[in-house]
Structure 1
Amino acid sequence: MTTLSIFHQSKPEQAHTVVTDPEAIQNVLAEHGVHFDRWATRELSVEASQDEILEAYADEVARLRQNWGFQAADVVSLTADHPQKEVFRQKFLDEHTHSEDEVRFFVRGQGVFYLHFDDQVYALLCKMNDLISVPDGTRHWFDMGPEPEFTCIRLFTNPEGWVADFTGADIASRLPRYEALAGEV
């Protein structure tokens, strides 16, 4: 189940609010300019290619491109047997921002987006069918867990793709990781 856990940065060990209703999650995140949505499931094999995945969601991707001006879309997939899974996990675990919106749609699997607003951190455990758009300039990080299993469609306004500006803050190291939030302790 998709879950939004809200932490105060002075008490990062304990969520003070947990939300599981998708409409309530959408409303809470919208207050911070974050777009959250759920798309209908498509029957795709685990081995589906990037082209097959983009074709299956062509209408939704086209609508986002038209409405938000995205220039590029691709698919990223990571599995527990990937030889560089720890390197990839570490790459996204530090707080950073982007100069464009970060948009992810979970075709399969799950991961946690952490969004840092003022003195609150919103940890959104995204699951299959979840779409999140993190506004440019938003302090955030992503945790895919030690045994990642996910496939996401990514959309970009910058054709160069993912470019991060790391904040240098240590907040990400003080909050519960994926394992705790996904119930895999």
Structure 2
Amino acid sequence: MTLLTTWPETGPDALVRRTSDPVEIAAALAPIGVRYEQWPVREDVPADADSDTVFTAYRAEIDKLNAEEGFQTVDVVALHPSEDPQWPAKAAAARQKFLAEHTHDDDDEVRFFVAGAGIFYLHVAGEVHAVYCEKGDLLGVPRGTTHWFDMGTSPAFTAIRFFHEEDGWIGNFTGSPIAERFPDFDEIHAGYAA
């Protein structure tokens, strides 16, 4: 289940909002320009499915979103635990890339979770919104929105990425240590799963 937790930007000592209701989540995020919706989950698509399988399963939804938004590039990104002895180092490096607060000047950050989970932290208007996304969730973070992403210390997800620009993901890092003040993926996931 998806979870939205909102705190003041000063830290997680005070809670502004916490909900797992998809309608409430969409309504809370809409005023800051963030798109949240749920697509039908294809239970026959394995968590580690290849790109062709994912594209085939979600073709109707991808085509509809492309028609609405005019995306130039759509791809599938996946990160799942592996027996590879290099896996822990690869996972840590992948996670570190997104943990710092940043913006995107030229594109929105739009992701649909085919499998697994991740958290987008949105720092907007004096608040931090942690959106725990799972299988079936689509989140669209508008260009210019200050945010960061955490996939946890043992990433396990498959997501469809949508880009208006062919260059893809280009982050402008703010240099702020704000992400260090808030619960990370592992903390939120452990509390949510309990």
Q: TM-score, normalised by structure 1?
A: 0.95
Partner of 1:27, secondary structure, is: helix
Q: Distance in 2 between matches of 1:9 and 1:121?
A: 5
In structure 2, the residue matched to 1:6 is 6
Which amino acid in the other structure matches residue 73 of structure 1? V
What is the root-mean-square deviation of aligned Cα atoms in Å?
1.4
Q: Distance in 2 between matches of 1:14 and 1:50?
A: 41
Shift in Å, 1:36: 0.2
| 1:46 partnered with 2:52 | no
| 1:178 partnered with 2:179 | no
Deviations 1:54-84 (A, max 9, x none): 1111111111111111001000000133340
Are the structure 2 counterparts of residues 28 and 140 from structure 1 closer, same or farther at C-alpha, using a change threshold of 3 Å? same
In structure 2, the residue matched to 1:85 is 91
Q: Distance in 2 between matches of 1:9 and 1:88?
A: 25
Q: Distance in 1 between matches of 2:189 and 2:140?
A: 21
Equivalent of 2:167 in 150, 160, 165:
160
Shift in Å, 1:45: 2.1
Q: Distance in 2 between matches of 1:122 and 1:138?
A: 12
Q: Distance in 1 between matches of 2:13 and 2:49?
A: 38
Are the structure 2 counterparts of residues 13 and 47 from structure 1 closer, same or farther at C-alpha, using a change threshold of 3 Å? same
| Sequence identity percentage | 43
More helix by share: 2
Equivalent of 1:125 in 107, 126, 132:
132
Deviates more, 1:124-133 or 1:80-89: 80-89
In structure 2, the residue matched to 1:56 is 57
Instruction: Report how many aligned residue pairs link the two structures.
Output: 185
Q: TM-score, normalised by structure 2?
A: 0.91
Shift in Å, 1:85: 0.2
Gaps of 5+ in 2: none
Aligned pairs (5 A) from 1:10-159: 10-42=10-42, 43-81=44-82, 82-83=87-88, 84-98=90-104, 99-159=106-166
Contact 1:2 1:20 in 2 (8 A): yes
Deviations 1:16-36 (A, max 9, x none): 320110000000000111000
Shift in Å, 1:14: 4.5
Contact 2:48 2:78 in 1 (8 A): no
Gaps of 5+ in 1: none
Contact 1:13 1:174 in 2 (8 A): no
Deviations 1:137-180 (A, max 9, x none): 00000000001110000000111211111111111111111111
Q: Distance in 1 between matches of 2:113 and 2:163?
A: 15
